[in-house]
Amino acid sequence: MTNIVSLLQAAIVFGTVILFGATGEILTEKSGNLNLGVPGIMYLGGIAGLVASFFYEKGNPNPNVFVSVFISFIASFAAAFVGGLIFSFLTISLRANQNVTGLTLTIFGGGVANFFGGSLNKLAGGVGQISVATASGGYRATTPLASLGAVGEVLFDHGFLTYVAIAVAVLVQLFLDRTRAGLNLRAVGENPGTADSAGINVTKNKYLATCIGAGISGIGGLFYVMDYTKGTWANDGTIEGLGWLAVALVIFATWKCVNAIWGAYLFGLLSWMYFYVPGLTRSSQEIFKMLPYLVTIAVLIVVSLRNKKENQPPASLGLAYFREER
Amino acid sequence: MGTEAAVQMKGITKCFGATVANNNVDFELKHGEILSLLGENGSGKTTLMNMLAGIYYPDEGQIFVNGREVSITSPKDAFNLGIGMIHQHYKLVDVFTAAENIILGLEEKGGLDRRAVSAKVKEIADRYGFDIDPNQKIYEMSVSQKQTVEIVKVLYRGAEILILDEPTAVLTPQETDKLFKVMKNMKADGKALIIITHKLNEVMAVSDRVAVLRKGVYIGDVPTKDTDPQKLTDMMVGHAVTLNIDRPQYDKPQERIEVQHLTVKDAEGVSRLKDVSFNAVGGEILGVAGISGSGQKQLLEAIAGLQPAEPGSRILFKDEGGKEHELLGKDPLSIAKLGVALSFVPEDRLGMGLVGNMDLTDNMLLRSYLTGRSIFADRKKPKELAQKVVDELEVVTPNLQTPVRKLSGGNVQKVLVGREISMNPTVLMSAYAVRGLDINTSYAIYNLMTEQKMKGVAVIYVGEDLDVLLELCDRILVLCDGEVSGIVDARTATKDGIGLMMTQNQNKEKEGQS
């Protein structure tokens, strides 16, 4: 019983990181931009939040929880937003290849984050010595509901970002489905020429969706740093792995945020399963870690076989748009 | 609605580079009328209308809407003036419903109330007699349903002036009748309509007045009731021009290709070619005339093995020894090996046959990379060939390493035609080889064709310009709507006669119905 509870808890924590990543990427891809820089953007979001709280708490003898949480959140979103801006400028304004730009952004984000993360460790006096106790405590604070037995532990023993992730996913889905702006944005991702001739500003839509999407993805990195690893920095490349899982989750969810919510927790469950299956050797553990990717491939196959248009990626995903090509 | 014209265009000129698409055109559209804008391909009909729709901006001239001078710089400006154009290529998002497509980009107040939109769409549909389900997805629709969505989209935005660019090109006769009924309903409602077309029977059936353009020049307009197809054809094609293309006669003609009952259907099940039979003879240029989209492309592709045909069709190739080969069912490579070469120059010129990013040598290599014994491609011969094509056809290029896309259109075409000729074909098919070329280059290509003919090659030449076809070819096959409306001797045929044959079948069909 305790095993199941802790597996579910771990799955939800894990799922929250990639749910942020996937929600942001769905918003981006709906505008027709395939941003493969998600891992890099999550790196940027993570390190920016950490740096912001670190310096605030270092310079203040009595750091305020709300201030520390607030500035790290803003810093994280802003850094990721800038990552999205770089991608947008290169691919929308300069019409660079989206795949190449995204992969480069992943490498760039990882490099920048690990550079600052390493420096931060040095400033703090060694690996594992970074202290952002106030902010991390704020992110991980739970409500009294958490003590309601097993149900409470599974559902309510989490920091507030866990619930923000679900709320953001639902809101993005509502925006895409139920508003005129969402309809226009989807039109841009499906057929920018049509959108353009209907008087929709293609460039503006792509920029906004990509930058805000990147900001949302970046919060996934912040959650990882503040909640998952409790306010430390390790140059172990975990964020990158989670970033790629977020990209896989977008495909798994067939570009629907609502599917991404349960998909994220399923991915979490599958990723942590090895820990709870008795009698596994190190090598057989790795097979279990493959499961999220196998499931994604299975979904891709099923979706392709069914060939239902609604489950396909946005029609002009990954393509640059020039008006003159009409 | 005053007494002034809905639209008036004065002295409109529009050039694309050196080509004059419209030359000092005066044009008028009245309220409550259907006007046909008639002309051959490339006569500047669509260009003229695109200037009303805000796609192009005129180089010279003035546009008045309801008597007021206006400047239309974007599709949005056109919408605001109540002008809506239904293009040939529909601008719709496939995964959206009809209603979603209709309101796309509109800045109406309030949230997205799908039910209210559907109700308004239904109301418009009922008023004019459209058949439309607002909640149907575009990808589930037939072509004519998509067209309906486009028209309703324009009406939803409050258009008073509608321009339809060849709306019937993709419709069945029944759907066309339905469209015409709706157009007449709109006219009765006081809207002004322009239908761009080159089908004479449709002009006669639906319009009140006909305006004719020829080579960018406004020839004139007549009330439909005062004219007939013969007079309109005269206005459309004009008088024959003498070009002085050399046309020698070859003394040992031999039959090369025999096409029997060729029928081709497209993915949607619409017949593109219907029961086409003819033969191509070595030492002769067979011209193919017809309005664009009458099946020329399908015909050449079927012979080259790129287009599957319906059962009952036969395409026979007769080789040197008189042996017959059935080409249908063979793959393009083995057909090419028999000596059938195809050089097709599509609208975008590069689309078929050449790879834009590869240089001249590599493009030559495309034809020969499978030959030779080594596992490495032999680049020496293609290089020599490229040099030969460049020298003989006077291709202007910095060197052989230049990517083909960087050459000008004419030079690209020379490379393509030159390569196909270098294969020493027994049958040479060429479509629109002189598209967009200047006079001198065009003559160079005509000479190449004639040279091949005198070598005993059977040349099939699909062209747009009737004057050229009449002087270059030995025989002319006229296609109309996928059917052969006649094969004539180019030495005795007249331009009027061919022009009429290009539109004849439609008239026959109409007569048959009534």
Are the beta carbons of B112 and A180 separated by less than 8 Å? yes
Residue corresponding to tokens 């290509």: B445
Q: Does A193 touch chain B (CB under 8 A)?
A: yes
Minimum Cα–Cα distance from B117: chain A residue: A180
- Give how many domains chain A has, as a whole number: 1
What average pLDDT is seen over chain B?
A: 84
Q: Does A201 touch chain B (CB under 8 A)?
A: no
Minimum Cα–Cα distance from A200: chain B residue: B105
**A168-177, B323-332, B501-510: lowest mean pLDDT where?**
B501-510
Residues of B with CB below 8 A from A193's CB? 91
Closest CA to B498 of B311, B323, B332, B287: B287
Cα–Cα dist A26/A314, whole Å:
10
* Mutation site, B93, B106, B141, B165, interface A, largest A CB count within 10 A: B93
Answer yes or no: are the C-beta atoms of B163 and B84 closer than 8 Å: yes
E-only strand ranges, B72-176: 83-86, 161-165
pLDDT on residue B512: 39
Residues of B with CB below 8 A from A180's CB? 103, 106, 108, 111-112
Which residues face B93 on adjacent strands?
A: none
Answer yes or no: are the C-beta atoms of A66 and A239 closer than 8 Å: no
Residues of A with CB below 8 A from B165's CB? none
Residue with the bigger pLDDT between A123 and B513: it is A123
Using CB atoms, which residue from A190, A197, A312 is nearest to B75? A197
**Residue A164: pLDDT band by 50, 70, 90 thresholds?**
very high
* pLDDT reading at A290 higher than 80: yes
The contacts of residue B190 (CB under 8 Å, 6+ apart) are B1, B31, B32, B160
The contacts of residue B82 (CB under 8 Å, 6+ apart) are B65, B158, B159, B160, B161
Which residues face B483 on adjacent strands?
A: B480
Mean pLDDT along residues A28-43:
96
**Residues across chain A:** 326
**A74-83, A212-221, B432-441: lowest mean pLDDT where?**
B432-441
Answer yes or no: are the C-beta atoms of A158 and A6 closer than 8 Å: no
Cα–Cα dist A99/B117, whole Å:
38
For residue B306, give the 3-state DSSP assignment: coil
Measure Cα distances from A79 to A75, A104, A232 in Å: 6, 16, 18
* pLDDT reading at B343 higher than 80: no
Question: Could you count the other beta carbons within 10 Å of the beta carbon of residue B7?
Answer: 23
Query: Helices A180-190 and A202-223 sit at what angle, rounded to 10 degrees?
Result: 100
Are the beta carbons of A180 and B111 separated by less than 8 Å? yes
* pLDDT reading at B389 higher than 90: no
Which structural domain range is residue A121 located in? 2-325
Q: How many CA atoms lie within 13 A of B120 on its CB side?
A: 15
Longest dimension (CA), chain A: 63
The contacts of residue B173 (CB under 8 Å, 6+ apart) are B509, B513
Are the beta carbons of A309 and B94 separated by less than 8 Å? yes
Minimum Cα–Cα distance from B76: chain A residue: A199
Are the beta carbons of B104 and A183 separated by less than 8 Å? yes
In eight-state DSSP terms, residue B82 is: T
* pLDDT reading at B363 higher than 60: yes
**Residue A1: pLDDT band by 50, 70, 90 thresholds?**
low
Range with top average pLDDT, A173-177, B384-388, B429-433: A173-177
Q: Does A71 touch chain B (CB under 8 A)?
A: no
Minimum Cα–Cα distance from A176: chain B residue: B112
**Residue B348: pLDDT band by 50, 70, 90 thresholds?**
low
> What are B398's two structure tokens?
């910095």
pLDDT on residue B511: 42
Measure the N-to-C terminal CA separation of chain B; round to a whole number of Å. Answer: 37
pLDDT on residue B1: 44
For residue B260, give the 3-state DSSP assignment: strand
Mean pLDDT along residues B481-506:
82
* pLDDT reading at B316 higher than 50: yes
Answer yes or no: are the C-beta atoms of B424 and B455 closer than 8 Å: no
B118-130 tens-digit pLDDT: 999 999 999 898 8
Residue with the bigger pLDDT between B349 and B165: it is B165
Query: pLDDT over 70 for what percent of chain B?
Result: 92
For residue B403, give the 3-state DSSP assignment: strand
Residue corresponding to tokens 């080969």: B325
Answer yes or no: are the C-beta atoms of A187 and A194 closer than 8 Å: yes
Could you tell me where the DSSP H helices lie in B291-379? 296-304, 332-338, 360-368
Residues of A with CB below 8 A from B93's CB? 186-187, 190-191, 194-195
Measure Cα distances from A166 to A142, A156, A296, B174, B344 in Å: 16, 13, 21, 53, 56
> What are A65's two structure tokens?
């929880």
Are the beta carbons of A191 and B105 separated by less than 8 Å? no
Answer yes or no: are the C-beta atoms of B68 and B7 closer than 8 Å: no
What average pLDDT is seen over chain A?
A: 90
Q: Which helix (H) or strand (E) holds A194?
A: helix A192-197
**B1-5, B85-89, B457-461: lowest mean pLDDT where?**
B1-5
Answer yes or no: are the C-beta atoms of B163 and B86 closer than 8 Å: yes
* pLDDT reading at B509 higher than 50: no
Size of interface A-B (CB pairs under 8 A): 61
* pLDDT reading at A183 higher than 90: yes
**Residue B351: pLDDT band by 50, 70, 90 thresholds?**
low
Residue A220: which CATH number? 1.10.3470
B438-477 tens-digit pLDDT: 667 778 788 888 888 998 889 999 887 788 888 899 999 9
Residues of A with CB below 8 A from B105's CB? 184, 187, 195, 198-200
Minimum Cα–Cα distance from A181: chain B residue: B105
Measure Cα distances from B487 to A124, B474, B482 in Å: 91, 11, 14
Closest CA to B286 of B50, B473, B51: B473
Residues of B with CB below 8 A from A197's CB? 75, 91
Q: How many Å lie between the alpha carbon of A258 and the closest alpha carbon of chain B?
A: 19
Which residues face B214 on adjacent strands?
A: B217
Answer yes or no: are the C-beta atoms of B409 and B436 closer than 8 Å: yes
* Mutation site, A174, A191, A311, A321, interface B, largest B CB count within 10 A: A191
Closest CA to B266 of B293, B303, B291, B304: B293
pLDDT on residue B20: 82
For CA atoms A69, A74, A79, A81, give the dihedral sign: positive
**Residue B152: pLDDT band by 50, 70, 90 thresholds?**
very high
B47-62 tens-digit pLDDT: 899 999 888 899 999 9
**Residue B510: pLDDT band by 50, 70, 90 thresholds?**
very low
Answer yes or no: are the C-beta atoms of B446 and B417 closer than 8 Å: no
Q: Does A307 touch chain B (CB under 8 A)?
A: no
Burial (CB count <10 Å: 0-12, 13-18, 19+), residue B302: buried
Between positions 160 and 179 of A, the ones with CB within 8 A of B are: 178-179
Q: Which amino acid is at A82?
A: V
**Residue A167: pLDDT band by 50, 70, 90 thresholds?**
very high
* Mutation site, B47, B83, B91, interface A, largest A CB count within 10 A: B91
* pLDDT reading at A205 higher than 90: yes
* pLDDT reading at B42 higher than 80: no
Mean pLDDT along residues A229-235:
85
Minimum Cα–Cα distance from A309: chain B residue: B95
Are the beta carbons of B104 and A193 separated by less than 8 Å? no
Q: How many Å lie between the alpha carbon of B95 and the closest alpha carbon of chain A?
A: 6
φ, ψ for residue B74, nearest 5 deg: -150, 160
Using CB atoms, which residue from A184, A199, A309 is nearest to B75? A199
Which residues face B427 on adjacent strands?
A: B340, B458
* pLDDT reading at B494 higher than 90: no
Minimum Cα–Cα distance from B99: chain A residue: A183
Cα–Cα dist B489/B242, whole Å:
17
Residue with the bigger pLDDT between B350 and B195: it is B195
* pLDDT reading at A211 higher than 90: yes
Q: How many Å lie between the alpha carbon of A300 and the closest alpha carbon of chain B?
A: 19
Q: How many Å lie between the alpha carbon of B337 and the closest alpha carbon of chain A?
A: 37
Query: pLDDT over 90 for what percent of chain B?
Result: 28
Are the beta carbons of B94 and A315 separated by less than 8 Å? yes
Radius of gyration in angstroms for the set of CA atoms belonging to chain A, rounded to a whole number:
20
Burial (CB count <10 Å: 0-12, 13-18, 19+), residue B183: buried
* Mutation site, B47, B89, B95, B114, interface A, largest A CB count within 10 A: B95
* pLDDT reading at A307 higher than 80: no
Residues of B with CB below 8 A from A315's CB? 94-95
Residue with the bigger pLDDT between B380 and B35: it is B35
Minimum Cα–Cα distance from B138: chain A residue: A309
Residues of A with CB below 8 A from B76's CB? 199
Q: In what order do the strands lie in the sheet with B60-65?
A: B19-29, B7-16, B60-65, B68-70
pLDDT on residue A124: 85
pLDDT on residue B247: 83
Q: Does A303 touch chain B (CB under 8 A)?
A: no
Cα–Cα dist A237/A247, whole Å:
16
What domains can be seen in chain B, in order of their start residue? 5-237 (3.40.50.300), 254-341+426-441+452-514 (3.40.50.300), 353-423 (no CATH)
Range with top average pLDDT, A148-157, A302-311, B279-288: B279-288
Burial (CB count <10 Å: 0-12, 13-18, 19+), residue A80: buried
φ, ψ for residue A280, nearest 5 deg: -90, 140
Going by their DSSP bridges, the two strands B7-16 and B60-65 should be labelled as antiparallel
pLDDT on residue A41: 97
Q: Which amino acid is at A117?
A: G
Longest dimension (CA), chain B: 80
